[in-house]
Structure 1
Amino acid sequence: MERTFQRKEPTKIFYGKTVASLFRSTDLRDSQIIFCGNQRYYDHLAEKLNQFVQAATSVDWFITTNNRYCNDFRTFEDFISFMNRFSPNKKMIMIGIGNQGVMELMSFYQQVAVFDVELWLIPLSLRAFAQSLNNQSQIISQEKVQAVMATEISPQRILFDQTLADQQITGKIVDLLVLIRCGIVLDYHFLQQVFRAFPTRQVLNTKSSAAFIDAVIDFYQDSRTELASFDEIFTAAFFQTENGHLLSDSMKNQFGLLFAFFWNGQVAKLDFNFKNFMIWLMQLDFPVLLPAAISLADYGEQVVIMAKGKGSLGLAEVGKTNGYQAVTEVQLDRAFANYTKVLKEIRGTINE
């Protein structure tokens, strides 16, 4: 399928197709092809992808680390040096393939390059696909994982090859957060559909998310700013919290979403069954307990600091936003207490 995603410049989105079909349908003669991907995807896909572009004048690869945040300033500097090898007078197609960091790194470079670069993005997970639909790409500081530069993105093409994404079994639980976030922020009925579609970890591992792609594109077309900012400070605060390194980047993202949701439960007095929601997440094998070495008090302090001025995006109800709200320590204490209470109730039910 093919859709047009409207930004300042339109982006063509291809899905339900393979990577091979995209290359076969494009005239690549006399083109400079620059692939960018991490070491993992280079090892698995480089030989196959190179075969697809034999008509090109040249094919080169820039290899990043396997880190989700490979869009750091040092890697960006390395990429600039790498790109100085190529002639700006020949047609250039940059192809970012892989995770969210690669999507951001390539998108940022395209927007600041002084010569014309055609950008294709090939996300290999649902979360990377969501990033390719996002408002902005960022270059971050490696030390604090905070944005030092940002720009709007406008790739010419995005190809989401579901056959490749479905092979990433270990990442499916993280990809599900994309759908959960869409439901929490924009559409309660969509959240119910996701709940019914993926009741257990076994189903999640074996069932494709392809049926939800159209809806995800619609959500990001209309409300990508809200989706990007809903749990932004709650996730970022873990990078500033003592012992936050004990959580992987994916776990920071998950707990950030959960605590943003529970905070909204306190602020907006949401009519929502958080207990059943958490039982579902546990059935999917989401980790729900923070490491004991991470202090919720310390984490809450970092959230408050980051929320000063703008606040955090609030909900009027599940699936409907209500603008930005101030974040206080009292609200967070109540949200954390409710989170702990829900988990105790669930453990009590399980042990009976």
Structure 2
Amino acid sequence: MIRLSVVLLSLLLFSLSGCVGLGKMLSQLPPELQMKEVGKTDSASPFAVSRDGKIAAVHEEEIEIISPDGHVVKTGKIVGQRPNILSFSHNGTLLLAALPTATGSSLRLLTLDGKVLAEATLPGRVTAALWRDNQQVEAAALNIRRSSDGTQLTSVLYDWDNSGTPLVTTLSAVTIHSDLSKLSDELLLNTLNLSLSPYGDEIAYSMMKDLPKFSPYQAVITRRIDSGSEHEVTRTSVGSGGPIYGPDGDTLLVGDSRSVTRRVTIPDGREIYAWPSQGSYPSMSPSGKYLFLDGHLYRDGQTLATFPKESRAEFLSNGSGLVLLYGSRLYLVSGLEDQAAAKPAANTKLLELRKLRSQGVISERDYRARRDKLKGQK
């Protein structure tokens, strides 16, 4: 009886702690924002938000799909290890899950009721995965090999059309000889991140470099999808968050594990704004008006609301709010006044300008002048 009472008391305290956490966050919200709990997750699990507001999360070893009206669909017990990445297709009808395996990773394509449509087994641990459209998937993976000579990191990019074997491109291979070679696999995996341009014509990724006579750093690189040509935009400290593209497609948000998060221009890396935050898991609203960095919600560069530093967030595509993960609970924060992102990929003239710039046919100055002229014609 005493043991049962202790268990009940522990459950009560756990429940109350969640309520107190929500109560404290609610008390710090400005009047225009509202917040409510919408779901739960297993510890250290990913979540994803579709363009129509559905949420995918892992709860009690199942992937759950939470509709905007609160309806929950359980997809069945996960076969294999728990996913480390979830991502909806653009139209929200399919879900991509990346799952660690004993020898690498598995990419699994699921319907929203849990049916497996396709699966690909990959060497290396997938650290980022995104959809180029409703079929094509880009995934970045890191192979870690340790020896007495140092730690070798091989970064690869997988291009998968949801059928057959993914195409493989080696992005980099570097051997770390410094003290950073002793970092845990988990920390090393955080050095390879991936983002897709809103135009769909290039990606930005980060990778570690450890050159002789230089301090190790994390390079931020853009890569054209059509040609594979690359350009190093900027450098940051090892273990930093980002990059993620700004909605204009010509800027990147880059974290820094030692100091500030910067928004820099492509391709010259010129800083145009900075926030006093490391930016471990940055997130930007569709128009760029709002930014979520290490628990701080910024609006037009000013702090609007503060949440626990460990929380993560993803903005809704219509700009009305964000989904926030803190601990094992998911919350919907509404009342934001943003707008849905435009669809710049339809502007073929601008796409051609971006291609000419990447080829060096036109200068950056000429590109910006022509781009601004095109935007003025809208």
Please, what TM-score do these two structures have when normalized by structure 2? 0.22
Higher RCO structure, 1 or 2 (CA under 8 Å, sep 6+): 1
Q: More helix by proportion, 1 or 2?
A: 1
Please, what TM-score do these two structures have when normalized by structure 1? 0.23
Q: More strand by proportion, 1 or 2?
A: 2
